[in-house]
């Protein structure tokens, strides 16, 4: 503990103890009585224990040490002092690292924080974003080599099956996202729409065979799509209704879309599936914009043909650009979420591309990859706390 002399100097006052109302106000009142200037304040409360730090400039001749110690004794708080530089150390722009997982045990957290240290970076601040449906923490990280930081953290995530890592540059761009564009199949919903329809048409095996051929590179996306749609010829709209009734939302989908709307985001879905489903999803979830392929229907029966332009990988990315332009939102303020290869262009075009339970090639190419099964976990990557979501739901 450094005692204060008669010269003007800057002192870091640190207060710890059980939290209760009036601590910050009480310390500031003591400082005001001493004509001290406050240069910096930081405070955090964990499990009803407060840690409060203030950098203050003390005028010569005032016994601030005695006054603050007396106040601390009266409030049942521990107080100590350090004489510090009068000039705040410049803080370079850093990165926001989000750690997510079902549990996040000490080993997973140790691997992630060691990865940060080994990149020459320093953790400036840590706070918890959520404990449900996943654990998540946000770390503000400064300095270090950016490429090494990313490589180290991604390596830590790959070595721990329960750890997901998102890395974003700190700044206004990270906090100013305004548009989220979602894929549908295996992202917003757990199913593949073509499979639900094929099951009703009795051609599920044939559809799966075409899908496998496309995934193996024997067919391009558009050819495979047309071949599968032709198998649906003769399917009545009542069967579409039955298929819709079997659809399963991804856990957290309603919370995710509801919270984004409350925050003023534009929410869109862009799907290689069909409007007979995406229009219903739009209406059911309150989504603003929905784009998908159009199945031709005559007299309540599907013809096995598509109407208009096929919505493929390139068109998905183009639609993201068009939606952003129409809403007056810069691309750096957009988020795209998807799981398949036909989402890659969209993920790379957006300001933040999130691979959600994606194929390895997609996860490797996206800005961020999440393997947790909850869609609302994306809110934590955006810096939204679970407590804020629950408070909004309760209001």
Q: What is the largest CA-CA distance in the chain?
A: 93
Distance CA 191, CA 170 (A): 35
DSSP result, 199-249: HHHT-HHHHHHHHHHHHTTSS-HHHHHHHHHHTTTT-BHHHHHHHHHH--B
Total residues belonging to the chain: 395
Whether residue 11 contacts residue 81, with contact meaning beta carbons closer than 8 Å, is answered with yes
Distance CA 290, CA 276 (A): 11
Which three-class secondary structure state does DSSP give residue 127? Answer: strand
β-pair type (135-142, 289-298): unpaired
Report residue 306 as tokens.
């598509």
Distance CA 358, CA 338 (A): 7
The CB density around residue 343, as the number of other CB atoms within 10 Å, is 30
Whether residue 338 contacts residue 349, with contact meaning beta carbons closer than 8 Å, is answered with no
DSSP state of 392: H
Nearest alpha-carbon partner for 379 in 102, 170, 164, 129? 129
Nearest alpha-carbon partner for 390 in 370, 376, 369? 376
Whether 183 is catalytic? yes
How far from chain centre, in Å, is Cα 381? 2
Helix axes 275-285, 237-246, angle to 10 degrees: 50
| Candidate list 164, 185, 343, 345, residue with the active-site label | 185
Residues in CB range of 345: below 8 A, 6 or more apart? 313, 314, 316, 317
Report residue 370 as tokens.
């999440």
Q: Which residue has the tokens 């094929």?
A: 198
Whether 185 is catalytic? yes
| Candidate list 111, 147, 164, 183, residue with the active-site label | 183
Q: What residues are labeled active site?
A: 183, 185
């Amino acid at each position: 503990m450094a005692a204060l002399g008669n010269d003007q100097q800057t002192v870091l006052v640190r207060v710890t103890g059980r939290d209760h109302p009036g601590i910050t106000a009480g310390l500031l009142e003591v400082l005001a009585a001493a004509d001290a200037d406050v240069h910096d304040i930081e405070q955090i409360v964990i499990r009803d224990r407060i840690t409060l730090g203030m950098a203050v400039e003390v005028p010569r001749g005032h016994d601030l040490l005695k006054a603050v110690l007396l106040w601390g004794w009266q409030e049942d708080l521990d107080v100590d002092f350090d004489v510090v530089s009068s000039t705040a150390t410049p803080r370079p722009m850093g990165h926001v690292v989000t750690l997510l997982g079902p549990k996040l045990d000490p080993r997973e957290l140790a691997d992630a924080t060691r990865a940060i240290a080994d990149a020459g970076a320093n953790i400036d601040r840590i706070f918890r974003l959520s404990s449900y449906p996943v654990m998540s923490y946000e770390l503000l990280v400064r300095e270090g080599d950016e490429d090494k930081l990313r490589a180290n953290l991604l390596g830590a995530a790959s070595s721990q099956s329960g750890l997901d890592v998102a890395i974003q540059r700190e700044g206004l761009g990270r906090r100013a996202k305004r548009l989220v564009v979602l894929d549908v199949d295996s992202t917003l919903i757990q199913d593949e729409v073509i499979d639900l329809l094929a099951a009703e048409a009795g051609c599920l095996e044939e559809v799966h065979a075409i899908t496998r051929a496309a995934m193996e590179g024997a067919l391009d996306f558009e050819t495979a799509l047309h071949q599968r749609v032709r198998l649906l010829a003769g399917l009545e709209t009542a069967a579409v209704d039955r298929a819709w009734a079997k659809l399963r939302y991804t856990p957290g989908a309603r919370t995710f879309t509801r919270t984004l709307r409350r925050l003023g985001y534009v929410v869109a879905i862009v799907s290689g599936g069909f409007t007979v489903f995406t229009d219903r999803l739009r209406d059911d979830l309150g989504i603003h914009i929905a784009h998908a392929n159009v199945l031709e229907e005559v007299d309540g029966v599907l013809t096995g043909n598509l109407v208009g332009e096929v919505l493929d990988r390139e068109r998905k990315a183009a639609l993201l650009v068009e939606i952003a332009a129409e809403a007056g939102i810069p691309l750096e303020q957009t988020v795209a979420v998807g799981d398949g290869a036909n989402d890659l262009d969209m993920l790379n075009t957006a300001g933040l591309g999130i691979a959600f339970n994606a194929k390895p090639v997609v996860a490797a190419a996206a800005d961020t990859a999440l393997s947790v099964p909850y869609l609302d976990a994306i809110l934590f990557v955006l810096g939204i706390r679970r407590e804020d979501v629950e408070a909004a739901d309760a209001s």
